[in-house]
Structure 1
Amino acid sequence: MIKAITLRQPWASLVAAGATNIVTRTWQTEYRGRLAIHAAGDISADVRLRVLNQRVRGNNHSYEGGDSAVLNTLYSAGFEDTSQIPLGAIVATCELVDVAPIGGASDFRTGIFEGDEGDYPGQAVVVIHDDGTVMLDTAERRVINITDQKAYNEFVPGHFAWILSDIRSVEERCPMCWSENGCSHSGMLPTRGHRGLWKVRLNGQKE
């Protein structure tokens, strides 16, 4: 069995496509390790409407507007229309390596999060600066500019950024046995999603 998290589309497919290795949630978890990315049974109505309103330039299917990064990533991943985006299935596997509280530089100094003032030893934090840049300060104290991830995530003070690594689509690695060489149950696994972290059995059902 493997733990899974359900994401509304198109965000599950954005993770599967490797466009983002961050998932923002209102809650945190102590869990670290293997994680399956499950696509919910519906797609954001806002995204569907925006796709319908987009204009395609020439023959390169380049989208304009505030959602251009999302739409172009989906198109590059082979989704020419939102009806092709998988729903109600596990679409990727990854490793959950850290969960970082999100806040402004002043938030960490004024105690919006528990911990020593201005210092979170052994824990990553995501800091939103006044100029709009977003920086990930890792547990190893490496500072990484993740401002480009604003195209795929909403960084809200008080929420949490789940940091993922080793992301693979289900075509690359089985979400059940973690095999990369093919197996009897490889491929997308249709299953119903659930809130929070949940475990999936080999038959695709929740534990």
Structure 2
Amino acid sequence: MEEMKGLTIRQPWATLIALGEKKLESRSRRTHHRGIIAIHAGKQIDKNAYERFAEVLKTYGIHSMNDLPVGVVVATAEIKRCHEIVEDYKEYALSNQDVVIDGREYQYGFYEKGRFGWELDNVYALPEPIPAKGQLGLWGWQIPEEIQAFISKSCS
């Protein structure tokens, strides 16, 4: 069985990534990892975040917190770069690569000076969420055989 790194993210953030709405994952630590990871929706739902972004989620058919999958891998994504946040203002942040994080993307993260934005690209939502037990940080996920072909195709 093949393995890839996984990243556990609370809901609704994991779903926003799977939908292609959220392109950066804000973290307190940098990552040197580059490449494909599994996006795992943790078992906790941030209720305040759900309420803040309920209108966006409704456009994708998610009408309640009960519609958010938990304890499952919902997508794969590629970590392209890691941006250190060097300035944080009311409506945008600036990374050390002079990338401005603004608008809805700014609202989707916590971009305080000294934090990091993990840039995600090539996001592929899985056809069906796959149950998995997540962990803190990047962890090894054994890719189930029945979806290895899909994962291989989406990651190439």
TM-score class, shorter-chain normalisation, is 0.7 to 0.9
Question: What percentage of residue pairs aligned between the two structures are identical?
Answer: 27
Q: State the alpha-carbon separation in 1 of the partners of residues 79 and 106 from structure 2.
A: 20
Structure in which a larger fraction of residues adopt helix: 2
Kept in 1: contact 2:54–2:63 (CA 8 A): no
Report the counterpart of residue 154 of structure 2 in structure 1: none
The structure 1 segments of at least 4 consecutive aligned residues displaced by more than 6 Å after TM superposition are none
Among 58, 79, 89, the residue aligned to 1:96: 79
User: Which of 80, 100, 125 is equivalent to 2:63?
Assistant: 80
1:30 corresponding residue in structure 2: 32
**Displacement of 1:17:** 0.9
* TM-score w.r.t. length of structure 1: 0.63
The answer to which structure, 1 or 2, has the higher relative contact order (CA under 8 A, 6+ apart) is 2
Q: What's the counterpart of residue 148 of structure 2?
A: none
Q: Are 2:15 and 1:16 equivalent residues in the alignment?
A: no
* Residue of structure 1 aligned with 2:102, choices 147, 153, 165: 147
RMSD of aligned alpha carbons: 1.9
Q: Could you tell me how far apart the structure 1 residues matched to 2:116 and 2:49 are?
A: 23
Q: What is the CA distance between 1:137 and its match in structure 2?
A: 5.7
Query: In 2, distance between residues paired with 1:83 and 1:76?
Result: 16
Post-superposition Cα deviations, 1:110-152, rounded to whole Å, max 9, x if no partner, equal xxxxxxxxxxxxxxxxxx35x74334564xxxx5442111221
Task: Please state how far the C-alpha of 1:87 moved relative to its aligned partner.
Answer: 0.3
Tell me which amino acid in the other structure corresponds to 1:147: D
Which segments of 5 or more consecutive residues in structure 2 lack a partner in the other structure? 146-156
Q: Is the 8 A contact 2:84 2:96 kept in 1?
A: no
3-state DSSP class of the match of 1:188? strand
Q: Distance between the aligned counterparts of 2:93 and 2:49, measured in 1? A: 24
Equivalent position of 2:116 in the other structure: 160
